[in-house]
Amino acid sequence: MTNYFYVSPEQLIKDRAEFAQKGIARGRSLVAAIYDKGVVMVAENPSASLNKISEVYDRIAFAGVGRYNEFDRLREAGIRWADTTGFTYSRDDVDARALANYYAQHLGDMFTEGQKPLEVEILVAQLGNALRPTKLYRVAYEGTISDEPYFAVVGGDAETIRDRFALSEESLETLAATLKNAAAALAGPDRVLPAEELEVCILEDRGNRRTFLRLTDEQIKEMLS
Protein backbone atom coordinates (compact mmCIF):
# COMPACT_ATOMS: atom_id res chain seq x y z
CA MET A 1 0.00 0.00 0.00
CA THR A 2 1.22 3.47 -0.89
CA ASN A 3 1.06 6.15 1.70
CA TYR A 4 0.09 9.67 0.63
CA PHE A 5 1.16 12.47 2.91
CA TYR A 6 -1.11 15.45 3.30
CA VAL A 7 0.24 18.67 1.83
CA SER A 8 -1.83 21.82 2.29
CA PRO A 9 -2.75 23.73 -0.86
CA GLU A 10 -0.94 26.81 0.47
CA GLN A 11 2.27 24.85 0.87
CA LEU A 12 1.87 23.23 -2.56
CA ILE A 13 1.39 26.56 -4.33
CA LYS A 14 4.28 28.09 -2.40
CA ASP A 15 6.61 25.24 -3.30
CA ARG A 16 5.64 25.34 -6.92
CA ALA A 17 6.00 29.11 -7.14
CA GLU A 18 9.43 28.95 -5.52
CA PHE A 19 10.48 26.24 -7.94
CA ALA A 20 9.35 28.27 -10.97
CA GLN A 21 10.88 31.50 -9.69
CA LYS A 22 14.22 29.80 -9.12
CA GLY A 23 14.21 28.41 -12.66
CA ILE A 24 13.37 31.80 -14.16
CA ALA A 25 15.94 33.63 -12.03
CA ARG A 26 18.73 31.50 -13.52
CA GLY A 27 18.22 33.15 -16.94
CA ARG A 28 18.74 36.72 -18.11
CA SER A 29 15.96 39.27 -18.28
CA LEU A 30 14.23 41.09 -21.08
CA VAL A 31 12.75 44.57 -21.54
CA ALA A 32 9.98 45.54 -23.97
CA ALA A 33 9.02 49.17 -24.43
CA ILE A 34 6.82 51.29 -26.62
CA TYR A 35 8.69 54.04 -28.50
CA ASP A 36 7.37 56.82 -30.75
CA LYS A 37 6.95 54.58 -33.82
CA GLY A 38 6.54 51.08 -32.49
CA VAL A 39 7.58 48.50 -29.94
CA VAL A 40 11.12 47.44 -29.14
CA MET A 41 12.12 44.26 -27.32
CA VAL A 42 15.61 44.01 -25.85
CA ALA A 43 16.98 40.81 -24.35
CA GLU A 44 20.32 40.08 -22.79
CA ASN A 45 21.28 37.05 -24.83
CA PRO A 46 24.90 36.00 -25.45
CA SER A 47 23.73 33.39 -27.99
CA ALA A 48 23.36 34.58 -31.57
CA SER A 49 21.17 31.63 -32.61
CA LEU A 50 19.04 30.60 -29.64
CA ASN A 51 16.61 33.48 -29.73
CA LYS A 52 14.25 34.74 -27.04
CA ILE A 53 12.28 37.08 -29.28
CA SER A 54 10.28 36.00 -32.28
CA GLU A 55 7.75 37.14 -34.88
CA VAL A 56 4.27 35.69 -34.34
CA TYR A 57 2.08 37.52 -36.81
CA ASP A 58 1.82 40.70 -38.89
CA ARG A 59 1.73 42.97 -35.83
CA ILE A 60 2.46 40.56 -32.96
CA ALA A 61 5.76 39.49 -31.41
CA PHE A 62 6.65 36.97 -28.73
CA ALA A 63 9.40 37.11 -26.14
CA GLY A 64 10.18 34.53 -23.51
CA VAL A 65 12.60 34.10 -20.62
CA GLY A 66 13.45 31.10 -18.49
CA ARG A 67 13.82 27.57 -19.80
CA TYR A 68 14.49 27.71 -23.54
CA ASN A 69 12.77 24.46 -24.55
CA GLU A 70 9.61 25.40 -22.65
CA PHE A 71 9.13 28.90 -24.01
CA ASP A 72 10.15 27.85 -27.50
CA ARG A 73 7.31 25.35 -27.57
CA LEU A 74 4.92 28.09 -26.45
CA ARG A 75 6.33 30.32 -29.17
CA GLU A 76 5.63 27.66 -31.81
CA ALA A 77 2.13 27.11 -30.48
CA GLY A 78 1.49 30.85 -30.66
CA ILE A 79 2.59 31.04 -34.28
CA ARG A 80 0.40 28.06 -35.13
CA TRP A 81 -2.55 29.61 -33.34
CA ALA A 82 -2.07 32.93 -35.15
CA ASP A 83 -1.64 31.40 -38.59
CA THR A 84 -4.63 29.07 -38.25
CA THR A 85 -6.83 31.84 -36.83
CA GLY A 86 -5.86 34.20 -39.65
CA PHE A 87 -6.51 31.43 -42.17
CA THR A 88 -9.89 30.48 -40.68
CA TYR A 89 -11.18 34.04 -40.22
CA SER A 90 -9.16 36.97 -41.51
CA ARG A 91 -5.75 38.50 -40.78
CA ASP A 92 -7.52 41.38 -39.03
CA ASP A 93 -8.99 38.96 -36.50
CA VAL A 94 -5.67 37.82 -35.02
CA ASP A 95 -5.50 39.61 -31.68
CA ALA A 96 -2.63 39.59 -29.19
CA ARG A 97 -5.01 39.70 -26.23
CA ALA A 98 -6.57 36.39 -27.26
CA LEU A 99 -3.12 34.83 -27.63
CA ALA A 100 -1.97 36.16 -24.26
CA ASN A 101 -5.13 34.66 -22.75
CA TYR A 102 -4.35 31.26 -24.20
CA TYR A 103 -0.81 31.44 -22.80
CA ALA A 104 -2.22 32.43 -19.41
CA GLN A 105 -4.65 29.49 -19.44
CA HIS A 106 -1.95 27.02 -20.40
CA LEU A 107 0.57 28.32 -17.86
CA GLY A 108 -2.16 28.32 -15.20
CA ASP A 109 -3.07 24.72 -16.01
CA MET A 110 0.55 23.61 -15.92
CA PHE A 111 1.10 25.41 -12.62
CA THR A 112 -1.76 23.68 -10.82
CA GLU A 113 -2.07 20.38 -12.66
CA GLY A 114 1.21 19.74 -14.41
CA GLN A 115 4.04 17.51 -13.23
CA LYS A 116 5.95 20.71 -12.61
CA PRO A 117 5.17 24.34 -13.37
CA LEU A 118 6.74 25.83 -16.48
CA GLU A 119 9.82 27.89 -15.63
CA VAL A 120 9.04 30.68 -18.06
CA GLU A 121 7.69 34.18 -18.33
CA ILE A 122 6.13 35.33 -21.59
CA LEU A 123 5.65 38.69 -23.19
CA VAL A 124 3.24 39.25 -26.08
CA ALA A 125 3.59 42.60 -27.86
CA GLN A 126 1.15 44.07 -30.34
CA LEU A 127 1.75 47.02 -32.64
CA GLY A 128 -1.43 49.06 -32.83
CA ASN A 129 -3.32 50.30 -35.88
CA ALA A 130 -6.80 51.65 -36.60
CA LEU A 131 -8.35 48.43 -35.27
CA ARG A 132 -6.31 47.74 -32.15
CA PRO A 133 -4.12 49.58 -29.64
CA THR A 134 -0.40 49.02 -29.10
CA LYS A 135 -0.14 46.62 -26.15
CA LEU A 136 2.34 44.74 -24.02
CA TYR A 137 0.94 41.68 -22.24
CA ARG A 138 3.05 39.97 -19.61
CA VAL A 139 2.18 36.41 -18.63
CA ALA A 140 3.82 34.99 -15.53
CA TYR A 141 4.68 31.33 -14.80
CA GLU A 142 1.48 30.72 -12.82
CA GLY A 143 -0.77 32.24 -15.50
CA THR A 144 -1.14 35.76 -14.15
CA ILE A 145 -1.66 38.11 -17.06
CA SER A 146 -1.01 41.83 -16.91
CA ASP A 147 -1.35 44.62 -19.42
CA GLU A 148 1.64 46.94 -19.12
CA PRO A 149 1.11 50.55 -20.22
CA TYR A 150 4.55 51.72 -21.51
CA PHE A 151 7.10 49.03 -20.82
CA ALA A 152 7.40 45.58 -19.35
CA VAL A 153 10.21 43.59 -17.84
CA VAL A 154 10.26 39.81 -17.58
CA GLY A 155 12.86 37.60 -15.98
CA GLY A 156 14.52 36.94 -12.66
CA ASP A 157 15.79 40.42 -11.95
CA ALA A 158 12.62 42.12 -13.19
CA GLU A 159 12.02 44.33 -10.13
CA THR A 160 15.44 46.01 -10.17
CA ILE A 161 15.47 46.42 -13.93
CA ARG A 162 11.95 47.84 -13.86
CA ASP A 163 13.00 50.47 -11.31
CA ARG A 164 16.09 51.37 -13.32
CA PHE A 165 14.13 51.66 -16.58
CA ALA A 166 11.32 53.64 -14.96
CA LEU A 167 13.81 56.37 -14.03
CA SER A 168 14.58 57.05 -17.68
CA GLU A 169 11.02 56.74 -18.92
CA GLU A 170 9.20 60.05 -19.29
CA SER A 171 7.42 60.16 -22.64
CA LEU A 172 7.65 58.20 -25.90
CA GLU A 173 11.15 58.56 -27.28
CA THR A 174 12.96 57.52 -30.45
CA LEU A 175 14.02 53.94 -31.02
CA ALA A 176 17.71 54.70 -30.35
CA ALA A 177 16.94 56.50 -27.07
CA THR A 178 14.59 53.77 -25.87
CA LEU A 179 17.11 51.09 -26.82
CA LYS A 180 19.87 52.88 -24.89
CA ASN A 181 17.70 53.11 -21.81
CA ALA A 182 16.69 49.47 -22.06
CA ALA A 183 20.27 48.29 -22.51
CA ALA A 184 21.40 50.41 -19.56
CA ALA A 185 18.56 49.10 -17.38
CA LEU A 186 19.45 45.49 -18.27
CA ALA A 187 23.16 46.05 -17.61
CA GLY A 188 22.87 47.93 -14.32
CA PRO A 189 25.32 50.54 -13.05
CA ASP A 190 28.44 48.34 -13.05
CA ARG A 191 28.31 46.81 -16.54
CA VAL A 192 28.06 47.82 -20.17
CA LEU A 193 26.46 45.25 -22.46
CA PRO A 194 28.11 45.05 -25.88
CA ALA A 195 25.87 44.80 -28.98
CA GLU A 196 26.84 41.13 -29.43
CA GLU A 197 25.19 40.25 -26.13
CA LEU A 198 21.93 41.99 -26.94
CA GLU A 199 19.05 40.61 -28.93
CA VAL A 200 16.91 43.46 -30.25
CA CYS A 201 13.72 43.18 -32.30
CA ILE A 202 11.12 45.78 -33.21
CA LEU A 203 7.56 46.00 -34.45
CA GLU A 204 7.30 49.07 -36.65
CA ASP A 205 5.23 50.04 -39.69
CA ARG A 206 7.47 50.13 -42.75
CA GLY A 207 4.73 50.04 -45.39
CA ASN A 208 4.55 46.25 -45.42
CA ARG A 209 2.12 43.77 -43.94
CA ARG A 210 4.82 42.27 -41.68
CA THR A 211 6.13 44.72 -39.13
CA PHE A 212 8.65 42.54 -37.25
CA LEU A 213 12.34 43.26 -37.68
CA ARG A 214 15.40 41.77 -36.01
CA LEU A 215 18.20 44.31 -35.70
CA THR A 216 21.73 43.28 -36.68
CA ASP A 217 24.70 43.77 -34.36
CA GLU A 218 25.84 46.67 -36.58
CA GLN A 219 22.49 48.40 -36.30
CA ILE A 220 22.44 47.91 -32.53
CA LYS A 221 26.00 49.24 -32.23
CA GLU A 222 25.11 52.33 -34.22
CA MET A 223 22.09 53.08 -32.06
CA LEU A 224 23.94 52.56 -28.79
CA SER A 225 26.84 54.81 -29.78
Residues binding other proteins (CB under 8 A)? 73-74, 77-78, 80-81, 83-85, 87-90, 92-93, 95, 98, 102-103, 105-106, 130-131
* Residue whose CB is less far from other proteins, 46 or 114: 114
CA-based torsion, 188, 172, 121, 196: positive or negative:
negative
Nearer to other proteins, 92 or 147 (CB): 92
Nearest distance, CB of residue 123 and other proteins, angstroms: 16
In whole angstroms, the minimum distance from the beta carbon of 84 to other proteins comes to 6
Closest to other proteins by CB, 1 or 130? 130
- Cβ-contact 28, 160 below 8 angstroms: no
**Sheet with 120-126: strands ordered across:** 53-57, 60-66, 120-126, 135-139, 145-148
Q: Please report, in angstroms and rounded to a whole number, the separation of the first and last CA atoms in the chain.
A: 68
Please identify, using beta-carbon distances, which residue of 8 and 69 lies nearer to other proteins: 69
Q: β-strand 53-57 against 38-44: which pairing, if any?
A: unpaired
By beta-carbon proximity to other proteins, the closer residue of 90 and 225 is 90
Q: How far is the CB of 45 from other proteins (least distance, A)?
A: 22
Nearer to other proteins, 84 or 160 (CB): 84
Shortest distance (Å) from residue 111 CB to other proteins? 15
Cα–Cα distance measured from residue 59 to residue 125, given in angstroms and rounded to the nearest whole number: 8
The vertex-47 CA angle with 45 and 53, nearest 5°, equals 55
Measured from the CB of residue 150, what is the shortest distance to other proteins in angstroms?
23
Q: Beta strands of the chain (E only): which ranges? A: 30-35, 38-44, 53-57, 60-66, 120-126, 135-139, 145-148, 151-154, 198-204, 212-214
DSSP 44: E
- Closest CB 59 distance from other proteins, rounded Å: 14
